[in-house]
Amino acid sequence: MNIKNFSLALVLSLAGTSVFAQQKMSKEAIDKKVDALLSKMTIEEKVGQMAQITLDVIGKGKDRYTSDEPFSLDKKETEKALLQYHVGSVLNTSNNRARTPQVWYNIINEIQNVAVKKGKNKIPVIYGVDEVHGATYTAGATMFPQQIGQAATFNRALVKEGASVTAYETRASAIPWNFSPILDLGADPRFPRQWESFGEDPFLVAQLGKEMIKGLEGDNNDVSNPFKVASSIKHFLGYQVPVSGKDRTPAIISDQALREYHLPAFKAAVDAGAKTIMINSGLINGVPVHANYKILTKLLREELGFKGLVVTDWGDIENLHKRDRVAKDNKEAVMMAINAGIDMSMIAYNYEPFCDDLVALVKEGKVKQSRIDDAVRNILRVKYELNLFEKPTTNIKDYPKFGSKEFEKVAYDAAAESMTLLKNNNNTLPLSKTAKVLVTGPNANSMRTLNGAWTYSWQGEKVEEFATKYNTIVKAIQNKVGAVNVTYLPGVSYKMDGKYFEDFADKMDETIAAAKNADVVVLCLGENTYTETPGNLSDLYISDLQTELAKKLAATGKTIVLVLNEGRPRVISKFEKNMSAILQSYLPGNFGGDAIADVLYGDVNPSGKLPYTYPQFPNALFTYYHKPSESRETTEGVYNYDADYNPQYVFGHGLSYTTFSYSDIKLSSNTLKKGETLEISVNVSNTGKVAGKESVLLYISDLVAHDISPDVKRLRGFDKIDLKAGETKTVTFKIKPEDIAYVNAELVTTTGEGEFTIQLGNKKANFNYTP
C-alpha cells in the first residue's frame, strides 16, 4: 500500500470516528468566539436566536399547523423565519410523523443551508427533538423501554448504553439536541407521564438520570463528538405532582419538599454537566414556573450553578398570558419569562409577536440588554460545543450502525431486564412450552401499546404503521412455542381512533369459551397509549371491560397469567387475587413482545423491580418513603385501629425464578462521624436452581429527625449483580453523612444526630451518627 492509502486506512480505523476527526475546542476558545460573534449582532439578530419554532411553521402547506406530504420546506416561510427574523432553533417533526434518516438529512441540511449560507452571521440552527426512548421520530430507529421500564432494571450500565445508542441514531437523523432525560419524580400514579420518569424515588431518578446524560453527551460531555447529542433535562421542577394528578394543573409543593424530593435529580444532572434544561409547564404554589425568578435564576443559576441553555416548554410564554393570566398580554408575558431567566422560547407557532415584543422590551429598557446577551451566549455556546458551525448537519451515510442488530440487542436486553414478576403462585411461571395457551386482552396483539407514546408520533397512534417487523406478545409466543399451541382472541380491544381510554368488548363470549379448552390463559391488560393532557385520567382502576374480562376468565377456573402493559399502575385489586401469576412489562418498546415471551417460558429469568408503589385502591396512594404516621401499626387503647398502609405491591418488589438470601451485614463501624465514610457490606446468595440477577437495594431509616418527621426509609444505594445457582457475592456500599441527610424545616440540608437503621433484603443493622 502506498503512503496515501496507508494514512487513509489509518484514519478510517481510528475508533470508527475517523471521518469526523476534529479537535474539541476549549471552553476559552468557545467563549472567545461567542463574544466575537455577539459583538457583531444586532438586537433583532440576538432575539431571533432566542426563538424556537416547530417544523410545520416553515413547511409547505395550507397553514402553520400541517404540512403537505411529502414534506418540503416552504422557501418563503423558511427565509422569513431564518433570515428576516433570525430564528435560531427548530424542533419537532412535521405532521406529527416519523421520517427516515435520509429525509431528516434533507430537511435539516436545507434549513442549515439557508441559515448558514444566506444568513449574515452564518449561525447554524440548533434542531431539537424528543428522543425519549430511542430516536422517537426516526423510522427504523431502535426503540427502548420507556424510562419507567429502564428504571425497573436498576441497571446503570444498560441505561447508559441505551442512551448512547439513542444519541448515535439521533445524530444519524441529523439532529444534535435531545429533549431527554425526564428527571421528574414519578410519585403520582395518576399523572399521565409517570412512565416517562424513572419512578418515585429521588435517588434512583438522580442515579439513572446521570447515566442517561453520560450516554447522550459522553463521559466528558464532549458533544462535538458526532455520535453524541446535547441533552435537555426536564421538566424543572416539580412537574409531575399537581394536586389533581392531571397534566399542567397546579401543584402545591413546600420549599422543603421541593428540595428534599424534586431537586436532587436536577442537581445531580447539573453536576454531571447537562447542556440544556427545559422548564416545568405548570404552576407551583400558584406561580407559573416559567415566570418564577426564584426558581429559574436564584435556584438554578445561582445555587446549582447551571451554565447551560434554559428552554421553555411548548408555548409556555404565551401561556403566562393566555392560560395562566399572570400577564395582561403577550408582551408582558415575554418580559416576565425572560427576566425570570428563560434563554429560549419554544414558541412553536407564532414567532413574530415573541420577537417583536422582545425587541421592543429591550428598547424600552424593560428587559436589560445584558439579560439578552447572557441568553444568547448560552445558546451560541451550545451551538459551538456541538460543532454546528463547522458541521451544521450530520449525514446518515456516516452512521452504519443505525438500526443495527447490535443496537437492537441493547434494546432487547433492557426490555428483558425490565420485566418485573409481581406474583407467581405455586410456580405457575415459567410455562411449559407444550401447554395450550389462550392469549387474550387488548394489549396482546399491539405494537402500539408495547411502545407507548413518543413513538413515531406524539401519542403513539402511528406505531403499527412503522413497527411491522417486530413481534407483539402473541406473535412472540407463537414464534416460541408454535402457532398450534396458541389461540388468540382479543376479548376487549381499544378503539384505535378514539380517546386512549376507550375500549369495547371484542369477541368476549368466544374468548371465555376458548379459555375452557386452554391449559393456561395469558391475559394481556393495561392501557392504550397517551401522554400529556390527552392522557389525563379520572379513574385509576383498570377499565371496566378489562375487569369484566378478567373476572369472567377467572370464573372458568383456569390458571391465569396476567401480563400488564401499562404506563402507570392501574388498580387491579378487583381481580388480583384470582390471577395465578402477574408480570409487569411497563412499556417495553419494540422488543417487548420477545422479552415477555422469553420470561413467560423461562428463557429469561426476570430481574426487574418496581420503581414505584403499586396502589391497591385509588384513594390510597403512597410512596414507599412516606411518613411514619401513614403506616402505623395498631394504635393501642380502648379504640384499637390501624393506619391503612395497603399498597398492592411495594416499591422494589420483584420476584425471580430463583431465590436469594441475604446474610452477614457488616459495618466498618457502629458510629459515623462528620467527614467519615461508613462501609456497609452484605452477602447475597443464589439459593435456587437457576442463575439470576438481583438488584440489591440499600435502605436507611433515620429513626429520629428532630424537626421534620423522618421518612420511614430511603433508598441510599443499589447495585445489580448476577449470580449463578449456588453462588454468593459480597456487595459493598459506601455511605457518607451527606448521603443520609435531609432538608430540615429551615431548608438546611442536615444529617440528624442519633440512630439509623440499615435494611438490606430482610436483614437489618444499626449505627449512630455523631457530628
Burial class (CB in 10 A: 0-12, 13-18, 19+), 548: middle
Separation between Cα atoms, residue 186 and residue 197, nearest integer Å = 5
Separation between Cα atoms, residue 226 and residue 167, nearest integer Å = 9
Closest to ligand BGC by CB, 180 or 387: 180
Choose among 136, 148, 234: nearest CA to 194: 148
Residues 6+ apart with CB under 8 A from 511: 438, 440, 489, 490, 491, 549, 553
Q: Any idea which residues carry the catalytic annotation?
A: 313
Cβ at position 163, least distance to ligand BGC in Å: 16
Q: What is the 3-state secondary structure (H, E, C) of 514-576?
A: HHCCCCEEEEEEECCCCCCHHHCCCCCECCHHHHHHHHHHHHCCCEEEEEEECCCCCECCCCH
Binding status of residue 559 toward ligand BGC by CB under 6 A: no
3-class SS shares of the chain: helix, strand, coil, % to 5:
35, 20, 45
Site for ligand BGC in 114-153 (CB under 6 A): 130
> Which string of x and - marks every residue 247-286 that binds ligand BGC (by CB under 6 A)?
-------------------------------x--x-----
Cβ at position 689, least distance to ligand BGC in Å: 45
Site for ligand BGC in 366-385 (CB under 6 A): none
Applying CB under 6 A, the site for ligand BGC has a residue count of: 9
Candidate residues 52, 92, 445, 485; the one interacting with ligand BGC per rule CB under 6 A: 92
Cβ at position 214, least distance to ligand BGC in Å: 20
Closest to ligand BGC by CB, 280 or 440: 280
Helical (H) or strand (E) element with 763? strand 763-770
Find the largest Cα–Cα distance for the chain.
97
Separation between Cα atoms, residue 389 and residue 379, nearest integer Å = 13
C-alpha pair distances (Å), 124 with each of 99, 118, 310, 595:
21, 11, 18, 42
Closest to ligand BGC by CB, 235 or 331: 235
Closest to ligand BGC by CB, 306 or 458: 458
Closest to ligand BGC by CB, 247 or 702: 247
Cβ at position 178, least distance to ligand BGC in Å: 9
Cβ at position 278, least distance to ligand BGC in Å: 6
Candidate residues 234, 267, 609, 653; the one interacting with ligand BGC per rule CB under 6 A: 234
Cell of 679: 462501609
Cβ at position 209, least distance to ligand BGC in Å: 15
Residues 6+ apart with CB under 8 A from 81: 53, 57, 58, 87, 351
Separation between Cα atoms, residue 660 and residue 150, nearest integer Å = 22
Closest to ligand BGC by CB, 132 or 518: 132
Candidate residues 79, 356, 502, 532; the one interacting with ligand BGC per rule CB under 6 A: 532
Cβ at position 177, least distance to ligand BGC in Å: 11
C-alpha pair distances (Å), 97 with each of 66, 463, 499:
11, 10, 19
Site for ligand BGC in 169-198 (CB under 6 A): 179
> Which string of x and - marks every residue 639-668 that binds ligand BGC (by CB under 6 A)?
------------------------------
Site for ligand BGC in 306-325 (CB under 6 A): 313-314
- Residue 51 φ then ψ, to 5°: -105, 135
Closest to ligand BGC by CB, 90 or 489: 90
Which spans of this chain sit near ligand BGC (rule: CB under 6 A)?
92, 130, 179, 234, 278, 281, 313-314, 532
